Amino acid sequence: MRILKIKGKNEETILGQIKKEYGDLAVVISTQQEKETGIFKWFKAPKTVVTIAVKDQEDYSLSAKNESQKEQPIDTVAYNVLLSLKDQIETMQSSITDLKRSNEKHHMPSENKESNKIIDILKAKLSDEGINQELLDIILKGISEECEVEEIVRILYVNIEELLKKGLYSKNLPQIVFFIGPTGVGKTTTIAKLTADYVLNRDKKVVLFTSDTYRIAAIDQLKTYADILGVDIEIIYEENELIQYIEKWKHADHIFIDTAGRSHKNSEQIEDIKNLLASVEQKQVFLVLNANTSCKDVKSIVGIYEKVYPDFELIITKLDETDEIGNVMNIAYYANRPILYLTHGQNVPADISGFNADEYTSYLLGRINYE
Write the DSSP string, 212-228.
Answer: --S-HHHHHHHHHHHHH
Which of these, 197, 180, 210, 194, lies nearest to 337 by C-alpha position? 180
The beta strand positions in the chain, using DSSP E, are 2-8, 26-35, 46-54, 176-180, 206-210, 232-235, 254-258, 284-290, 313-317, 339-343, 352-354
Residue 198 burial (CB count, 10 A): 21
pLDDT computed for residue 61 by the predictor: 45
Are 323 and 367 found together in one domain?
Answer: no
Residue finishing a domain among 18, 41, 66: 66
Are 208 and 328 found together in one domain?
Answer: yes
Are 265 and 236 found together in one domain?
Answer: yes
Which of these, 129, 101, 100, lies nearest to 361 by C-alpha position? 129
Q: What is the pLDDT of residues 104-132, one digit of tens each?
A: 555 544 444 433 467 777 888 888 888 98
Q: Round to whole Å and give the CA distance between 174 and 354.
A: 15
Q: Round to whole Å and give the CA distance between 15 and 8.
A: 10
Residue finishing a domain among 41, 66, 91: 66
Residue 351 burial (CB count, 10 A): 20
Are 162 and 186 found together in one domain?
Answer: no
Are 159 and 212 found together in one domain?
Answer: no
Number of domains in the chain: 3
Are 232 and 87 found together in one domain?
Answer: no
Residue-number span of the structural domain to which 41 is assigned: 2-66
Are 208 and 295 found together in one domain?
Answer: yes
Please name the residues in contact with 266: beta carbons below 8 A apart, sequence gap of 6 or more.
Answer: none
Q: Are strands 46-54 and 26-35 parallel, antiparallel or unpaired?
A: antiparallel
CATH number at residue 218: 3.40.50.300
Are 121 and 16 found together in one domain?
Answer: no
Are 62 and 82 found together in one domain?
Answer: no
Residue finishing a domain among 43, 66, 89: 66
pLDDT computed for residue 94 by the predictor: 65
Parts of the chain with a pLDDT under 70: 1-3, 27-46, 51, 53-117, 165-171, 212-218, 261-268, 349, 368-371
Are 295 and 341 found together in one domain?
Answer: yes
DSSP reduced 3-state for 335:
helix
Q: Is 203 left (phi over 0), alpha (psi -120 to 50) or beta?
A: left
Give phi and psi for 343, each to the nearest 5: -120, 150
Are 185 and 307 found together in one domain?
Answer: yes
pLDDT computed for residue 161 by the predictor: 80
pLDDT computed for residue 33 by the predictor: 65
Q: Round to whole Å and give the CA distance between 209 and 225.
A: 12
pLDDT computed for residue 315 by the predictor: 93
Q: What is the pLDDT of residues 287-330, one digit of tens each?
A: 999 998 888 898 889 888 888 888 899 999 988 888 788 889 89
Which of these, 128, 235, 196, 130, lies nearest to 351 by C-alpha position? 196
pLDDT computed for residue 173 by the predictor: 84
pLDDT computed for residue 109 by the predictor: 45
Q: Which amino acid is at 217?
A: A
Are 306 and 368 found together in one domain?
Answer: no
